[in-house]
Structure 1
Amino acid sequence: MEKIVDVAQYVYKYYLKETDEKIDEMKLHKLLYFVQRESYALLGKPMFNEDFEGWIHGPVSKEVRSCYDKDHGMVCNTHSLSEDDAYIARNVIEEYGHYDSWYLRNLSHEEISWKNSRIGLGPEQPGNRIIDKKDIEVDSRKVRPFDSTWGMFYDEFEDEEV
């Protein structure tokens, strides 16, 4: 299983390579949430074990927050991802990376997992409840892996024995 800071560094570097722009922190957190959700959709399990909290502007990882530097990416020690996990992260960036941070924030506000973490809190009231991974798994059910590029993921493994 990956560490969230490793996934964050991969997303940071891949986004920079593809866009020639540094990713802002809000966008990074939202893309990481979508990476986790897509991992559930494609593999039926989380990519990383660390949690998100339900903050005002969507899911946030405290681990990523403590290691993020807008100029250098993750300043904590990081490691490379498995090829399968890197593939999922790249596809999330290709699907959602062209949206601005506020659009991704609004998308994350449609997620059951974020909504459940905010029960009883007003729209501008700070919160730090853990987003339940079971709720992220529920959110993943609306992802259709055979739409767009996700179908290619399964094609790669078509000939393998199950």
Structure 2
Amino acid sequence: MMVTALDVANTFIMRHSDLYLSNLSLNKLVYFAQVESLRLTGKPLFESEIQAWQYGPVEPDVYRAFSHHKTAYLTPAGVVKNDEQVNRIVDHVADKYGFLTAFDLVDYSHRDGGAWKNVYDGTRNKTITIKDILDSDDVVSYPTLEGTMTQDMHDIYNKYRNTFRLLGDA
């Protein structure tokens, strides 16, 4: 059974409804699923092209399928396949990257040494090849909370925990 990037996107939506998924964040997670497959198996998870766009890696079919949603709640586009390898990789990516906001994912994909940073030249539609990914830091590192919006939100919540509790009780 041939797995597509859209299958991977649909799997994220079905298996990880607890994540706030927008088209922007979903495209980054699909990209990192490709990275994770290369890291764990040495093989791509799907064959379709990933492109370097302004806000990071994008798989055009995934972008088009969910572009009408903007930041609204995403629902699967088409039939959701139940593939054990895809499920395993999607779950792993959700665990390693799912705590990041959409713009944390953009920042992480834009870091020095990442495949997007190595390829992007200010124009859309530049292909990020499997070789580009394998030659990048994307396959050797994972994001951390340090310096992310997610960390900032945790810090604010911890500092004003009682205030948030009071507001929640109001």
Answer whether TM exceeds 0.5 for this pair.
yes
Kept in 2, the 8 Å contact 1:38–1:143? The answer is: no
* Equivalence for 2:82: 80
Q: Aligned equivalents of 2:80 and 2:131: distance in 1?
A: 27
TM-score, normalised via structure 1 length: 0.74
Kept in 2, the 8 Å contact 1:41–1:143? The answer is: no
Q: CA deviation at 1:133?
A: 1.4
Structure 2: give runs of 5+ residues left out of the alignment: 143-170
Report SS of the residue matched to 2:99.
Answer: coil
- Counterpart AA for 2:65: C
Kept in 2, the 8 Å contact 1:51–1:61? The answer is: yes
Structure 2 counterpart of 1:60, from 52, 58, 61? 58
Q: Aligned equivalents of 1:76 and 1:115: distance in 2?
A: 32
Q: Aligned equivalents of 2:85 and 2:63: distance in 1?
A: 25
2:126 is equivalent to residue 129 of structure 1? yes
- After superposition, the C-alpha distances for 1:49-74 in whole angstroms (9 at most, x for unaligned) are 01111011100111111222444433
Runs of 4+, deviation exceeding 6 Å = none
Structure 1: give runs of 5+ residues left out of the alignment: 145-162
- After superposition, the C-alpha distances for 1:111-137 in whole angstroms (9 at most, x for unaligned) are 532123213x2xxxx422111111112
Kept in 1, the 8 Å contact 2:21–2:73? The answer is: no
Q: CA deviation at 1:143?
A: 4.2
Q: How many residue pairs get matched?
A: 135
Larger relative helix fraction: 2
- Counterpart AA for 1:142: V
Q: Aligned equivalents of 1:43 and 1:130: distance in 2?
A: 22
What is the alpha-carbon root mean square deviation over aligned residues?
2.0
Distance 1:135 1:63, change over 3 A: same
Q: CA deviation at 1:23?
A: 1.0
- Counterpart AA for 2:116: W
* Equivalence for 1:12: 13
Q: CA deviation at 1:94?
A: 1.2
Report SS of the residue matched to 1:26.
Answer: helix
2:46 is equivalent to residue 48 of structure 1? yes
Q: CA deviation at 1:109?
A: 0.7
Kept in 1, the 8 Å contact 2:119–2:128? The answer is: yes
- After superposition, the C-alpha distances for 1:18-55 in whole angstroms (9 at most, x for unaligned) are x2x55111110111111100100100010000111101
Percent of aligned pairs with the same amino acid: 28
Q: Aligned equivalents of 2:59 and 2:139: distance in 1?
A: 22
